[in-house]
Amino acid sequence: MATHKSALKRQKQSEKRSLRNVHIRSTLKTLIKKVRLAVEANDIDKAKTALAEAIPAIDKAKSQGVIHRNTASRKVSRLTKQVNSLQSSQ
């Protein structure tokens, strides 16, 4: 347990950031899952709208430092590729 003032502040900041990061990661997983489910269901419209929601959320998580920039880029790329493959197959 922290004993001096700066360590106590550090601990509070760490807990606060941890809670924020958990919330953002959970939201990202949900948005990505919506895109993947729409792709599996072959629903182009739902997939496009879900992708349009997911990309800004991924970019925001990247800018906040919750996920690495390469991870964000990879996720956007793979999701976009999945949605585009759905369009080309129909």
Domain annotation for the chain: domains and CATH numbers: 22-89 (1.20.58.110)
Q: Above pLDDT 90, what percent of the chain?
A: 91
Reply yes or no on whether the pLDDT at 87 is more than 90. Answer: no
Q: What is the reported pLDDT for 54?
A: 97
**36 alpha carbon, distance to own chain's centre:** 13
Task: Please tell me the predicted confidence (pLDDT) of residue 86.
Answer: 86
| CA 46 vs CA 1, 11, 35, 67: distances in Å | 49, 42, 8, 25
pLDDT at 27 over 90: yes
CA distance 20 to 23: 5
Mean pLDDT in the chain? 94
